[in-house]
Chains A and B, each alone.
Chain A
Amino acid sequence: MEILRVENLCKSYQMGEVEVKALTDASFSVEKGEFVVVLGPSGSGKSTLLNIIGGMDSPTSGKVFFKDEEITGFDDKKLTEYRRKRVGFVFQYYNVMANLTAEENVELAMEIVENPLPIDEVIEAVGLSSRRDHFPSQLSGGEQQRVSIARAIAKNPELLLCDEPTGALDYNTGISIMALLSKLNREMGKTLIVITHNSDIALMADRVIRMRSGQIIENTVNENPINAEEIKW
């Protein structure tokens, strides 16, 4: 079942007198429960694509459908609701609230939705049971990213968007985070879109979308995705 469809998406910025094309004619679709990796070097337009899919940015042209709804036609209010109910974000630099504990960070997201997942289950799922009362300054980078993931899934969204989730982590921590995301995808059935420049992570994905200079150059289905523990980079 198709959960997301991107049609001829374009995005250009005006930088002084120069027009920068961040995204050109991008089209693809994602099935429900799919693990998609958007792969590309820095400046290839993958973050722009993720922002538009996540309702954080608007395209210059083209359409994005979430299920049957065209989110690119949403006003601010509807976009906020879309971000609140349908999408969970995980950022490269975790971006957790510094003056809230791990548990409170998760609750921050839960408070604005009607049917969040049980807090204990979420904390348990990300492996933070023993660290739930710690403030971000008392947590390692990996633990902070786990908080960020917990915050994203606690709202029980259908789509999980991860922007370079391992970009700021060391190898082992990166592996464990990818393993966690993969587990959430498999066990909770969350549709997962991960953008990364790390091609090894693509080995885990069901679908790999390769980007360069704002264009999708390849959209392939990975018939044999591997486990996170098997990846090496």
Chain B
Amino acid sequence: MTKMDLMLVRMIKNSKSQFLAVLIIIITGICVYTSMSMASANLSDTLDTYYEENRFPHLFVQVLGVPVQVAERLERVEGVGKVTGSLVMDVPVLTEDTEKRKTLRLITIKGDEQELSRSTLLSGRALSDNRKEIWLINQYAKANGIKAGDEIRVQISGADYTMEVAGIVANPEYIYLLESSQSIMPDDEGFGIGYLKEPLGRLIVDEGQNYNYIRIEYEPGAKEEALIEAVEAQLKPYGIISSVKREDQLSNAMIQEELLNLRRLSDSLPLLFLFVAGFILMMILSRMVKKDRLKIGILKAIGYDNQQILLHYVKYAVMAGLAGGLLGSTLGMALAGAMTKLYLEFFNLPLLTVNFDITYIFKAMFLAALFCLISGVVGARGVLKIAPSESMREEPPKKGKRILLERVHFLWKRFSFSRKLVMKNVFRNKKRTAFVISGVALTYGMILFTVTMPSVVDQMMNLHFTEFQKMDYNIGFYKPVDERAVRDLYHIIPIDHAEGKIEYPFELSRGHREVTVNILGLKKDTQFYSFKDTSNRMISMPERGILLSENLAKTLKAEKGDLIRIRSLLTEKEDVEIPVAGVVKQSLGMNLKSMRAQLSGLEASYAMAKETVSKNKILYEQGVLSRQEYDRAVTAERELAAQISSPAIFY
């Protein structure tokens, strides 16, 4: 070891606490980086394996009803490898608790090995062909304390069915168990998936020899867009409700979003720590160089050159980086396994692929060393300026001059001597003052943001439910129902006012811009919905034409008076061109985690939408969503967000 290095080691030893403080920050940052990156990689690997083993499809098509033969014929489309059709229907679960609405989505399966979206049986047994039994998704079973062998009662088309829970399963389509894109958070207790054999499904669901849900697996090298076009062309006569690519499939999109967030967090959070550590190191070295002015002069007098001396100080920083990188990544690797398990548990993934990728240690050490090297060079660059002869003399005092405040005589003369000194320090060290002020401002900003955010959300909620959407309940129907159903509601439950609406997906286009959105058809005299234009003026539903939300108008680059081409995805009706009657302010989104495939926010007149879709039918949306439930979901989401963000704020 050279004597310069020996000096360095002893210097570190003599200022242990200082070095340790920097080391802890680096270790924390690198630990977060390694553990999160590895957890993210493991989670991604596990997900890929799970998808592969359970044959997670590439395309999901929801149709009104397509004959089995037509569905099977889809396998002849170029690029299609395998097709699996199912009957899907959401049914209410009958329980003692009448307060809590519970819905079970029944999905028929064939039960063969070749089937797409195969479930993994976690407990229980295989489904038999001739008994009324179902497999229940793990999340719902767990939340409701249901085990294999228990019974579950559901209501299908008005009739009660009691079915035995043959097994508890996990399924790649419902890793993230959301009822629909409108759901804010998974409600494991209120919504579940039940798998039943196809013959039983056909027996209890009156759908004839049809499927209403098709899953498609591509052959390797398939051209997706052409394939989708061909599939949609074949299914169009049977009414396509939605055609969703794997990347947009609700559960997959959510989990990919989580993975992306995890990756982003694992990329950004450590940088924050490393920036802080780098900044501290820079300050330490800059002060050290100032303090060691004489020592540096002596070294230069002896014959050491600038590079050798600079390296001596930079080594301090690099050692902190390497030690922090090594310790942090080792700790991170130890935590990665536990973290991966936690994520897998959170996502209900039955598989576990934990790989300890040793390259993360090198990556982490390189990252930390690089940050520290840069900080070291910046912090210690003062070495270069020290002339050996100058260093032997005392450093001359800084040039002093009157500060701005001194010119305000009546104020300045009122200050005590010590206060004058403080003021002079504040004004003369402008960089330091600016840094302290920014630090304090940032801290207060973060605190204020955290404290005020809940009340801002509350205000948005209040505004949304008192001004833009005033209904207490939304009742959705599985199938379109006649308008008389609205009138019938007055006889069934005590209500002040009820009105029907229709909501269906359409493809909107203007020029080369295209977007698929849900269209909301409302009565002209709707009492539940109200709209404000971009100038905050209340506007009523137009006689003809559509109202576009601000975002949608931006996407389509459309303004009031422009024509929008609307194509129905469900029927063979010809495209229609409708003028934009106005652009309205975006009210609170129903889905906080809005997805590309489920952009909502286009309102059309009830009459127009009805005409475009079907005659005298109010289209369905399953389930009932009350304002309170929505409120609860938003609160739960907020609490979760607060839990996730609190460590970051703490740091």
Contacts and interface: CB of A to CB of B under 8 A. Distances in A.
Interface of A: 47, 51, 54, 56-57, 76-77, 80-81, 83-85, 89, 91, 95, 97, 99-100, 104-105, 107-109, 111-113, 151, 155
B3 A100 contact: yes
B85 to A, nearest CB: 79
Given A57-B389, A108-B4, A99 B300 contact: no
A216 B3 CA distance: 40
Contacts of B301: 54, 56, 83, 89
Nearest to B3: A108
B303 A97 contact: no
Contact of A56 (B2, B11, B387): B387
Nearest to B301: A89
B303 A83 contact: yes
Contacts of B388: 51, 56-57, 83
Contact of B302 (A47, A77, A112): A112
Given A100-B3, A104-B3, A95 B298 contact: yes
Given A80-B305, A99-B14, A105-B3, 20 more contacts: A47-B392, A51-B392, A54-B301, A56-B387, A56-B388, A56-B389, A76-B306, A80-B300, A80-B304, A83-B302, A91-B392, A95-B294, A97-B298, A100-B7, A100-B10, A108-B4, A108-B302, A109-B302, A111-B3, A112-B303
B644 to A, nearest CB: 46
B6 interface: yes
A57 B387 contact: yes
B295 interface: yes
Contacts of A95: 294-295, 298
- In this complex, the interface size class of chain B, counting residues with CB under 8 Å from chain A, is 20 to 34
A51 B387 CA distance: 11
B184 to A, nearest CB: 61
Nearest to A85: B303
Interface in B276-328: 294-295, 298, 300-306, 308
Nearest to A96: B298
24 contacts: A47-B392, A51-B388, A57-B387, A57-B389, A80-B300, A80-B305, A80-B306, A83-B302, A84-B302, A84-B304, A85-B303, A89-B301, A95-B295, A97-B298, A99-B7, A100-B3, A100-B6, A104-B3, A105-B3, A107-B3, A113-B303, A151-B302, A155-B302, A155-B303
Nearest to B9: A99
Residue of A51, A80, A91 with highest tally of chain B CB at under 10 A: A80
Nearest to B305: A80
Contacts of B305: 77, 80
- A-B pairs with lowest CB-CB distance, top 6: A84-B303, A57-B389, A108-B3, A51-B389, A99-B10, A56-B389
Interface of B: 2-4, 6-7, 10-11, 14, 294-295, 298, 300-306, 308, 387-389, 392
B304 A112 contact: yes
B296 to A, nearest CB: 11
Contacts of A100: 3, 6-7, 10
Contacts of A85: 303
Contacts of B308: 112
Nearest to B2: A111
A185 to B, nearest CB: 20
A97 B7 contact: yes
Contacts of A97: 7, 295, 298
Contacts of B14: 99
A89 B294 CA distance: 14
Contacts of B392: 47, 51, 91
B6 A80 contact: no
Nearest to B11: A99
A151 B299 CA distance: 11
A89 B302 contact: yes
A155 B303 CA distance: 10
B9 to A, nearest CB: 9
Contact of A80 (B4, B294, B303): B303
B476 to A, nearest CB: 77
A83 to B, nearest CB: 5
B388 to A, nearest CB: 4
Nearest to B10: A99
Contacts of A47: 392
Contacts of A151: 302
A129 to B, nearest CB: 19
A112 B302 CA distance: 9
B231 to A, nearest CB: 73
Contacts of B10: 99-100
